[in-house]
Structure 1
Amino acid sequence: MTQHFLLSAQARSISLKAVFSMGEEKAYETFRQMRWPETDGEAVCPRCGCLETYDIKTRKRFKCVACHHQFSVTSGTIFAARKMSYTDLLAAIVIFVNGAKGVSALQMSRDLDCQYKTAFVLAHKLREAMAREQEGRVLNGIVEIDGGYFGGHVKPENRKEDRKDRRLKANTSGKRQCVVIMRERKGKSLPFIVRNEGDAVPYVRDHVGTLATIYADEGSGWDALHAGWDTKRVNHSVAFMDEGVCTNQAESYFSRLRRMEVGTHHHIAGPYLHQYAREASWREDNRRRPNGTQAAMVARAAMGSTISRSWKGYWQRSA
């Protein structure tokens, strides 16, 4: 029997033990290398681009020779104005990628001994950085498409005679949203959020190549795809696969997202559903990579991202 990748030694290329044993100085140098890889970690002024800077070692800051702007290794990134140590930031990234079905903010706050609010915002900033690689993505080849509904749960009444059929639209809360996943065979994936499955067709036009072959189920929302692509359908009430046509890769994505909802986060609907959907997509695309590689990818994406306008000062705005 073939061993699952997550059970193999290749899947473990970094650990929390290694992160905490490297010390603050080495963690700091790691962040410098990821912020300025073109200059081998030498500081570059984010304001004017000057390569000559003074190193203020007592404060771990730099001063530009040209414009005299002072900045740190995290200035202008999603970690700007951070209060956590570089070791804790690196450990948070490792904890985040180690969760195959995601990591809750409560668990991260306990592992790092920080407030829940800090862990919640940090995790969402990492999700935002992870989603950067999906921007402008166009899928080709064989593309599987499917939709799944999340949120809007309505609790049944206590007494049987008072219960209503929650499958009917009139008895729903109106908060249910549809996550549509488009996934290449042995390739990348791309999720997005719509109200109903059929509303996804305009997004398909923007992100699926015209020469691609689309595999979809028997849902009526996908009927319009036949006008623009070579579309093949499979009737799931009859078979899960029909002459090689299936949506198993899309179902694999929903399996991961459902387990994230039920077992880890318990509630992923609402205005931030798209971030959880993109996180699940990223984890599916990189599921065969070692955790050290995944951590490096997330760290580089975070250091290459600008200040998050959605999450900077999040709790201060809500107050």
Structure 2
Amino acid sequence: MGINVVQFQKGLSMNQFIERYGTEAKCYRALYRWRWPQGFRCPQCDGRARSRFRRGETVYYQCRGCRHQTTLISGTLLQGSRLPLTQWFQAMYLLSSTKTNLSALELKRHLGVNYKSAWRLKHKIMQAMVEREESRKLNGFVQIDDAYLGGERNGGKPGRGSENKQPFLIAVQTDEQLEHPTFAVIEPVKAFDDAALKDWIARRLAPECEVYSDGLACFRRLEDAGHAHTTLVTGGGRAATEAAGARWVNVVLANVKRAISGVYHAVRQAKYARRYLAEAAWRFNRRFDLRSLLPRLATALVRCKPCPEPILRAASNFHG
């Protein structure tokens, strides 16, 4: 059996990371290139000419056309942060290079910051992952399954009716032979009902997808939306998870659940499930080039709008 070239590819080693991004100046230059790859652009008028000056330790850029003043992190998810760029880069490296997950508590210990700062860092980075994954649509052959995050509370409702469980859908795009997964969408839904499925299908599946799923009643909406739909009758046990048309969605689902339950002592599913699931999807969908993960994540951070802590904490799992 040959080596899986995706799993065994070389990523960015710790030594390489320190060599490239070990100082504040190196981080600043890299972030500048990723935010303005064609050179400075005024966020107000898109002008290119600018002057540069300092106020204290902060470098400002003033557009010569409209005289708008900005900084490297203004208008981005890093806006308002007092942490040095080296700690942001360390957090991005740790969260993108780990194969599973990294809790805010562990991030706190790695970076030497307090827990609140580590929590904000982690959730802002996960928010960037959410926004990058929001527009993804799957094509061709797609395997879909329903699942839950969370478990039963003491004294609460058992099973699917538990107040501590967040339903979500996981879908994995494969090649035509159903032998290799390519991309995944992992997203919370309000319920496994017709309304939620119609909305999800419209946003997440390209026209004419061929879809494989189990016999959950709401998956009939796939046919109403014009998709070829194969309902798999697999029974139970391990054989059901390895059936053609269901294997890869079950493999990815098992990895996601193991990564979340094995790292986090508690996740507030009702508010933050979208971020934790998007974190898993973001890494899975970019696993083909591990060396590019940090630049792509940093680019996402500088392209996303600011998200102050009140907005960060007032999260919702759902659109609208």
Aligned counterparts, 1:110-129, within 5 A: 110-129=109-128
- Measure the CA separation in 2 of the matches of 1:96 and 1:252: 22
Cα distance in 1 for residues equivalent to 2:276 and 2:141: 25
In structure 1, the residue corresponding to 2:23 is in which secondary structure?
helix
Residue 160 of structure 1 is matched in structure 2 by none
Tell me the distance in 2 between the aligned counterparts of 1:82 and 1:213: 45
Match of 1:220 in 2: 217
Structure 1 length-normalised TM: 0.83
- Equivalent in the alignment of 1:2: 2
Partner of 1:264: 263
Aligned mates of 1:48, 1:226 — CA distance in 2: 47
Q: Which amino acid aligns with 1:232?
A: T
In structure 2, what residue type is equivalent to 1:180? L
1:26 counterpart residue number: 26
Aligned residue for 1:184? Answer: 173
What secondary structure does 1:240 align onto?
helix
Quote the sequence identity (%).
Answer: 22
> Which residue of structure 2 lines up, in the alignment, with residue 207 of structure 1?
204
Q: CA RMSD in A?
A: 2.8
Aligned length: 300
Deviation at 1:27?
1.2
What is residue 196 of structure 1 aligned with on the other side?
191
Instruction: Provide closer, same or farther for how the CA distance between residues 28 and 248 of structure 1 changes in structure 2, counting only shifts above 3 A.
Output: same
CA–CA separation in structure 2 for the residues paired with 1:73 and 1:22: 19
Instruction: State the shift of 1:289 in Å.
Output: 2.2
| 1:25 CA drift (Å) | 1.1
1:56 aligns with 2:53: yes
The amino acid that maps onto 2:221 is A
Q: Note the C-alpha offset of 1:16.
A: 6.0
- With over 3 angstroms needed to count, the CA separation of the structure-2 counterparts of 1:241 and 1:272, relative to structure 1, is closer
User: What is the TM-score when the length of structure 2 is the normalising length?
Assistant: 0.83
Deviation for aligned residue 1:93: 0.6
SS of 2:213 mapped into structure 1: strand
Q: Are residue 240 (structure 1) and residue 235 (structure 2) matched?
A: no
1:1-319 matches, within 5 Å, as 1-5=1-5, 8=8, 10-15=9-14, 18-19=17-18, 22-39=22-39, 43-56=40-53, 59-155=58-154, 166-167=158-159, 172-185=161-174, 186-199=181-194, 200-202=196-198, 203-227=200-224, 228-237=226-235, 239-240=239-240, 245-268=244-267, 269-290=269-290, 292-308=291-307, 311=309
Runs of 4+ in 1 over 6 A off after TM superposition: none
- Contact 2:212 2:246 (C-alpha < 8 Å) held by counterparts: yes
- Unaligned stretches of 5+ in structure 1? 157-163
